[in-house]
Amino acid sequence: MILTVDHVTTYRYSAPVRAMVQSHRLTPAQFDGQKVLSWEVAVTEGTPGGAFRDGAGDLIQGWTVVGPIAEITVTVRGRVDTFDTAGVLRGHRATVNPCCYLRDTMRTRMDAALADLAAPVLDEVGPDDPLTRAHRLSAAVSDAILWQPGATQVQTTAAEALTRGAGVCQDHAHALIALARHAGLPARYVAGYMFTGDQPGEAAHAWTEIHIRGLGWVGFDPANRCCPDARYVRLGSGLDAQDAAPIRGIARGGADESMDVAVAVRAAQQ
């Protein structure tokens, strides 16, 4: 499937800022599940800086904007040929040890309710069948957290989302990460895009990858009760949403900042 992506992020400041520095994880990697046909990232009055591929295999690109400037727009446009690999991340080059993804963060920390959610699965499926465990944990998250836009905020933790019983893809991903790590399975947060067609959903999307012995990294999307397929474009990964954020940065100046994001993912044949 050939997918086109249009992703525009606009930052506005209550007063002009002197400068801004950003780090982008906005360029998809090449692997068996996706081939980048064209891709361009542009920043208003921005100058690209150093770029490198981190230990997880994701491209990190620096940008600098010298002010004074009151509005900055980051524009991403591209075309990607995607393939269904049943969620298995094949051909993606990385050097970091998967065990690094057993470390908890504030957003993925376990509590008693999360442990109770995982307990029936861990009791019924032994550690000798990690793939089935991962699928069952993902299903448990899908059942426990209803997809409901606006139910949570960026800072919401997995434990808080479970207590509310509702959230968005970020919350589903954080909750599954927490359960997987609790079960001894390395897990990480993945940011990317999803083609939803006429169905409700989020074009800017997030899911979980769990490291399965003998298979490697396998994607699970509790928000949609499936593994990533040809509808998905993978951008990058991290320990949680903050660590995997497509755009991170800092502005010099005391102004208040607001942000607007618009994302559209379309099938090229349409």
Note whether 54 and 24 are within 8 A (CB). Answer: no
Note whether 17 and 252 are within 8 A (CB). Answer: yes
Return d(Cα 65, Cα 16) in angstroms, integer.
12
Return d(Cα 71, Cα 91) in angstroms, integer.
39
Domain that holds residue 158: 88-238
Q: Are 28 and 49 part of one and the same domain?
A: yes
pLDDT surpassing 60 at residue 270: no
Average pLDDT over residues 21-35: 96
**What Rg value do the Cα atoms of the chain yield, rounded?**
19
Q: Are 104 and 211 part of one and the same domain?
A: yes
Q: Are 106 and 201 part of one and the same domain?
A: yes
pLDDT of the residue at 118: 98
pLDDT of the residue at 85: 97
Q: Are 55 and 34 part of one and the same domain?
A: yes
Q: Are 64 and 45 part of one and the same domain?
A: yes
pLDDT surpassing 80 at residue 262: yes
Better-predicted residue by pLDDT, 198 or 235: 235
Average pLDDT over residues 239-258: 93
Cα of 96 vs its chain's centroid, Å: 18
Average pLDDT over residues 83-94: 96
Q: Are 67 and 100 part of one and the same domain?
A: no
Confidence of residue 16 (pLDDT cuts 50, 70, 90): very high
Confidence of residue 174 (pLDDT cuts 50, 70, 90): very high
Return d(Cα 214, Cα 248) in angstroms, integer.
34
pLDDT of the residue at 220: 98
Note whether 46 and 63 are within 8 A (CB). Answer: yes
Confidence of residue 200 (pLDDT cuts 50, 70, 90): low
Q: Are 152 and 230 part of one and the same domain?
A: yes
Return d(Cα 123, Cα 103) in angstroms, integer.
23
One-character DSSP codes across 26-81: -SPPPBTTEEEEEEEEEETTEEEEEEEE-TTS-EEEEEEEEEEEEEEEEEEEEEEE
Instruction: Find the CATH number of the domain harbouring 22.
Output: 2.60.40.2250
Domain count, the chain: 2
Instruction: Quote the mean pLDDT of the chain.
Output: 95
pLDDT of the residue at 197: 84
Q: Are 225 and 257 part of one and the same domain?
A: no
Average pLDDT over residues 16-30: 95
Please write the tens of the pLDDT for every residue from 99-141.
999 999 999 999 999 999 999 999 999 999 999 999 999 999 9
Instruction: Find the CATH number of the domain harbouring 162.
Output: 3.10.620.30
Q: Are 119 and 174 part of one and the same domain?
A: yes
Residue by residue, what is the 3-state secondary structure of 68-80?
EEEEEEEEEEEEE
Q: Are 109 and 29 part of one and the same domain?
A: no
Q: Are 34 and 93 part of one and the same domain?
A: no
Look at 160-174, 181-195, 244-258 and tell me which has the smallest mean pLDDT: 244-258
Q: Are 185 and 262 part of one and the same domain?
A: no
